[in-house]
Structure formats: structure tokens, C-alpha cells
């Protein structure tokens, strides 16, 4: 499902994806309310939509979908997003953030990755401007976590499961769970999506 307040963008997005093998457009929406209704009614595999939209914003759509445990994988397709919006999107369960400046083939490749369960919560270099708050977040993460915990945190941000992380680091699934429990306690977060967003902010401010 596609949604955007600009008819030209919506038509272009629909045309690009509709022409690709493996993609079928089941709905195209111009506002947030029709977008969330289409997600509820049609349960598409992926919904891709902008942040600023009439009726409901993209972030509000994420919040509603998260509260209703809707199974569609939600992707923001936007011209700009700041760090706070990124953290909010991650906490609300967004599967990806894709910038409108990307080439069509990158858009298609990214959505295929989302379809296979990979989260794409990252920003392009042009958006990497660190605020004082984000520097403080990064410094806090670096100071309270061990090297192993930071390593696991980065792999979580890449969308890897506990088993995949365990195989990557040659340690057991149970050990990963223990490390993540400690990380959640130290950073006062409750789920992997928020942890992934913090990892992204930390990495950006180290660059």
C-alpha cells in the first residue's frame, strides 16, 4: 500500500513499485485516515507513506498501527526526518525509513529487504547533524555499556535476531538474552526498536 499527500509523488511511487516483479499495489491513499483504514482492511505486507499527511501524520499512523498490533510492515518514505522523529518511529515499530532522494532501484531493493524482515532505520549523510541531546545520548551509551553490549546493540540495529547475533559472535542465544537484559536496564529502554534507534544515534555521533 502506498500513501502520499502529493499526487505526483503517489503516482510515481505506485508506478515504480507496480512495474516490479513481486510487487502488487492494493491501495493508494492521499491522507492518513484512509491510509490506516486501508491497512486495517487489506492487511498489506508493506505500507509505505510520508510523515506529513492530512488527517493523520505518518508518525500517528505508526502509533495507531502499533497499538492495534497490525501486522503490516510500515515504512516511512519522506524528504526529511530528524533524530527525535527517528526515535519515535523506531519506538512505534517502523520497519524502515527511506529518503525520497534515493534512486528507484534502491527504493525497490530496500522494500525487498523489509519484506524479508530487515529493519532499515537509518538516515543519509545529509541528515547527520548531531544535536547536544544526541551527543549526550551517545556519551551515555558509551560510558555505561561494555564493549560486548555495544557490539550486540549495533547488531540489533541491523535487524538481527538473538540467534543470528549469537551465530555472528559465536555465543549462545541465552547469553545474548542476558546481555540484552542488562542493556535494557542500563539504558532504561523496554524494546529492541528503541534500542536500535539509540544505536543509530550513537553511531552517527561517533562519526
**pLDDT tens readout for residues 8-33:** 999 999 999 999 999 999 999 999 99
> Is the Cβ–Cβ distance between 70 and 51 less than 8 Å?
no
**pLDDT value for 16:** 93
Q: What is the pLDDT of residue 22?
A: 92
**Rounded-to-integer distance, Cα 68 and Cα 175, Å:** 32
Relative to beta strand 46-49, strand 28-29 is unpaired
**pLDDT tens, residue by residue, 36-48:** 999 999 999 999 9
Position of cell 547536544?
A: 132
Check residues 207 and 60 and name the one with the higher pLDDT.
Answer: 60
Q: What is the mean pLDDT of residues 89-99?
A: 82
Give dist(CA 172, CA 17) in Å, integer: 40
User: Which pTM was predicted?
Assistant: 0.64
Domains along the sequence of the chain with CATH:
2-127 (3.40.50.2300), 132-206 (1.10.10.10)
pLDDT for residue 126 is more than 70: no
Helices (H) and strands (E) in the chain, counts: 10, 5
- Averaged over 63-76, what is the pLDDT? 91
* Pairing, β 46-49 against β 73-78: parallel
Grid coordinates of 63: 502509533
Amino acid at each position: 500500500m502506498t500513501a502520499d499527500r502529493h499526487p505526483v509523488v503517489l503516482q510515481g511511487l505506485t508506478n515504480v513499485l507496480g512495474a516490479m516483479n513481486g510487487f502488487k499495489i492494493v491501495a493508494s491513499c492521499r491522507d492518513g485516515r484512509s491510509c490506516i483504514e486501508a491497512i486495517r482492511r487489506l492487511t498489506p505486507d508493506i505500507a509505505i507513506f510520508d510523515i506529513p499527511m492530512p488527517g493523520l501524520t505518518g508518525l500517528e499512523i505508526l502509533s495507531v498501527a502499533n497499538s492495534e498490533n497490525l501486522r503490516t510492515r510500515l515504512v516511512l518514505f519522506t524528504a526529511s526526518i530528524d533524530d527525535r522523529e527517528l526515535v519515535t518511529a523506531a519506538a512505534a515499530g517502523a520497519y524502515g525509513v527511506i529518503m525520497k532522494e534515493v534512486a528507484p532501484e534502491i527504493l525497490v531493493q530496500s522494500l525487498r529487504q523489509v519484506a524479508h524482515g530487515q529493519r532499515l532505520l537509518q538516515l543519509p549523510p545529509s541528515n547527520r547533524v548531531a544535536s547536544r541531546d544526541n551527543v549526550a545520548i551517545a556519551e551515555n551509551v558509551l560510558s555505561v555499556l561494555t564493549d560486548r553490549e555495544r557490539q550486540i546493540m549495533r547488531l540489533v540495529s541491523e535487524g538481527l535476531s538473538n540467534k543470528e547475533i549469537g551465530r555472528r559472535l559465536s555465543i549462545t542465544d541465552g547469553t545474548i538474552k542476558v546481555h540484552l537484559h542488562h542493556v535494557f536496564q542500563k539504558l532504561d529502554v523496554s524494546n529492541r526498536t528503541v534500542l536500535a534507534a539509540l544505536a543509530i544515534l550513537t553511531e552517527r555521533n561517533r562519526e
